[in-house]
Structure 1
Amino acid sequence: MTTLSRTLTRKRRHRRSRRWNWFWRLTAVCTFTFSTLALGGALFLFCTDTGEELREWAAGTLLTTQHDYWAPYTFLPDDKLEELKRQIRNPVVINSVADTKQPDVRPVDIPAPEKPKELIEIEEIDEARGSYYFKGKLMYISDPNRVHLVVTTRKDRGDLLDEFAKKYNAIGIVNASGFYDPDGYGKGTKAYGVVIKDGKILQGYNPKSGETALGITYDGRLVTGNYSAQELVNMGVRDAMSFRPQLIVNGKNLFADKPAKSWGIQPRTAVGQKADGTIVFLVIDGRQPGHSIGASMNDVAEILAARGVVNAMAMDGGSSSMMLYNGEAITRTSCPYERGRFLPNAWAVY
């Protein structure tokens, strides 16, 4: 005879058993779903042309960050990975001025403006490129003689862009040189490459290292190329720094026939000059899904070329990319700190 207590015990066991049955069923369904998605994803990434292209994009992006050691884990064929590395480490370099002994030679004649222009004009960038999208700002500076390289004087760290802007009463400003940045914790105290300020060489560099110089002369010409610090000074360059790659030289878009994925997709900063002498700053936001993923070097070169820029070069990108206007950030940095990063120098308008 079954007692009431035994009946209740059996019911409790049955309820517990049903709960565990649901748990195991849910676990089995989740495991099957995950395995199916993982298998499908692996087949897509490794067995389709689109998947291989996405892995190339990922490898190119990683190779231009401090985490380039992750690039081999995209499992690209060795020859493709080496080609991406070659394009980044050894970009094509063209001197914008053919003969350093003739500083008055100009790649493009700069005509006198027909009418006075505003010193600074801002243009919005908002574009979609198939699988990615980006936003940013273009800043046009009509008087190139108002554009200067500003350099930190701190010993413990670099300056934030808003600190540079306050020190120099700058109307507009963007980041410039790269710097030693282990795992994203660099303090921006010392720039990579050449630094020339007001005609004085503060720092030299080896122009054969792959980086190229960008300078502005005393008469407002932007020059870029494989020049030593002394050659730049001899050419009448007032301020200069170095990074890479060149984007446009003497009106030629150097990325017009290059695969976009070689440099990946990142936040970008670039500086250039139009034929009429106007200096152009460009900053593209990135690493922010829902706002802006970032741009390729091809995108940056294309944007500038479409607006008449005849000489241009990339500045440091990533979480350093940022633009301020009248003391306020008008782009969105990918740096966790909303004021951006500590920087060794910047291009400022004052």
Structure 2
Amino acid sequence: MSRKTLFSKRLKTWGRGKRVLMVFAILIFVVSSLFYVTPTGSRFRTILAETAITTQSFRTWSWVFVGGTERDRMIKELFEVNDKNAAEEQKLPEEPFIHKEMTQLTKIEDISGDGWVGKKIYIYDPKAIRVVVPQKQGTGETVSSMVKRTHAVAGVNAGGFVDPGGFGNGFAPIGVVMSGGEVLYNDSADTTPQHVVAFTKDGALIIGKHSVKELRQMNVTDAVSFYPRVIVNGKPLITKGNGGRGIQPRTAVGQREDGTVIFVVIDGRQKHSIGASLRDVQDLLLEEGCINAGFLDGGSSSVLVGEGGEVLTKPSSPNGKERTLPSAFLVFNNAEDVKVHNVWDGLDTIDPGGTWDPDKAWKPDGQTTKPTSTPTPKAKTTTVPTSTPKPDQTGDRSNSTKPNSTSQSPTSTPNKADIPNNNPSDPDNSDQDGVG
């Protein structure tokens, strides 16, 4: 009797459960083989690795898809590409934007693409946009709360923040925060270039790598730190591939030649919308006629809020609610009258929050449902001279200044090197999400 016949007889004696398990095992073997030996499988693994690298909850597992060596190369390349794309000098408009016969300040529309949905909001007067920060010390604030509190017309999430374990409280920004011409927070020397998304007093959108000193020289009034830049002077910067950051919820901003600003917010990590690549958003903003564009914090931070604090998109946080954040871009009918209090003024240290229990979700106030068993790492207090840093300090955030106002007294802030799982290269520093 042949082996085939013997196997056939034995198979007939198996119950339904055993047969189902065998079929399932065969399917897993076939699919996993295709996953690792075919070009399509290789491309899919790369996308999964990119997505994992820019997601706080799964970053440590990204090596499963491509191996540790390739993962490290991908992360290094992200740093290099970010700086390269920020290098080209941006041409500023020679005259302030003037909108004639403007009948409305904003317009919100639905958008969709391959596997994702979201919203876009047009702001026809760029000078109506301001950076707003939390009202109370110790925790961030949701965008809907900021909109309601300040009676804004609309708002989107803005800059990144230190986010231990992906459950930070949204109160420890990364980079610089400016509002109304005042520096509310800066974790580097004023001469150190940082990736920024900013607006000048005339409403020009600035995206690139600039120091606070340079921002002042360009008459920037409102700014946060994030990246990457994807369009400069009308030229797309992602010309091949999807941008190298996988599929995520996204928040981005672009500006047309006439000054119109377009914020894009895309849902992700959900059944109705998986998320979008950087290339997806770049191409969308190109089609809209944007000449300069870049990204804000994404992941579970991404949200668009309308008048009255109505949440118009669906955040991807574990509880489905907004995250508490350190900054937001809000739109006002009378932006020149808005006064933003420096919530970080006078603080020597900042507790970023966080939890070692990723199964726990955020409460509405941004705190975790379970206290951490290990104390949150405290900020390293470093006194910094007010003089210009030495050349070897340039670009090094290990010697950080604390939250500051326009005065330049020696101060301190949390040292990002002391914060677990905080990777400034990650666009979702909120799920860092820096992409979150």
1:54 positional shift = 0.6
* Residues in 1 aligned to 2:284 and 2:192: alpha-carbon distance in whole angstroms: 27
* Residues in 2 aligned to 1:96 and 1:175: alpha-carbon distance in whole angstroms: 26
* Residues in 1 aligned to 2:120 and 2:179: alpha-carbon distance in whole angstroms: 24
Change (3 A) 1:223 1:243: same
Check the 8 A contact 2:160/2:173 in 1, yes or no. yes
Instruction: Give the 5 Å matches for 1:1-350.
Output: 25-66=15-56, 67-76=58-67, 78-79=69-70, 81-90=71-80, 91=82, 92-94=84-86, 106=92, 112-113=98-99, 115-128=101-114, 133-206=115-188, 212-255=195-238, 257-260=239-242, 262-289=244-271, 291-326=272-307, 327-350=309-332
1:65 positional shift = 1.2
Check the 8 A contact 2:132/2:328 in 1, yes or no. yes
Match of 1:16 in 2: none
* Residues in 1 aligned to 2:192 and 2:264: alpha-carbon distance in whole angstroms: 25
Check the 8 A contact 2:197/2:227 in 1, yes or no. no
For each residue in 1:59-79, what CA deviation from the matched residue of structure 2 results, as whole angstroms up to 9, or x when unmatched? 000111113111101135834
Check the 8 A contact 1:214/1:241 in 2, yes or no. yes
Q: Tell me, what secondary structure is at the counterpart of 2:210?
A: coil
Structure 2 unaligned runs (5+)?
Answer: 1-10, 333-436
For each residue in 1:10-51, what CA deviation from the matched residue of structure 2 results, as whole angstroms up to 9, or x when unmatched? xxxxxxxxxxx9995123212211210111111110111111
Change (3 A) 1:124 1:210: farther
* Residues in 1 aligned to 2:89 and 2:21: alpha-carbon distance in whole angstroms: 63
Q: Tell me, what secondary structure is at the counterpart of 1:45?
A: helix
For each residue in 1:70-107, what CA deviation from the matched residue of structure 2 results, as whole angstroms up to 9, or x when unmatched? 1101135834x344213322312335755xxxxxx625
Change (3 A) 1:123 1:96: farther
Amino acid at match of 1:244: Y
TM-score, length of structure 1 as denominator length: 0.84
Check the 8 A contact 2:99/2:125 in 1, yes or no. no
Match of 1:17 in 2: none
Structure 1 unaligned runs (5+)?
Answer: 1-20, 99-104
Check the 8 A contact 2:205/2:255 in 1, yes or no. yes
* Residues in 2 aligned to 1:36 and 1:169: alpha-carbon distance in whole angstroms: 59
Query: Which has the larger share of helix?
Result: 1
* Residues in 2 aligned to 1:286 and 1:322: alpha-carbon distance in whole angstroms: 11
Check the 8 A contact 2:140/2:326 in 1, yes or no. yes
Check the 8 A contact 1:248/1:310 in 2, yes or no. yes
Q: Tell me, what secondary structure is at the counterpart of 1:34?
A: helix
* Residues in 2 aligned to 1:23 and 1:246: alpha-carbon distance in whole angstroms: 63
Higher-Rg structure is: 1
Check the 8 A contact 2:231/2:237 in 1, yes or no. yes
Query: Which has the larger share of strand?
Result: 1
Check the 8 A contact 2:179/2:222 in 1, yes or no. yes
1:183 positional shift = 2.4
Check the 8 A contact 2:155/2:306 in 1, yes or no. yes
* Residues in 2 aligned to 1:189 and 1:94: alpha-carbon distance in whole angstroms: 27
* Residues in 1 aligned to 2:107 and 2:88: alpha-carbon distance in whole angstroms: 26
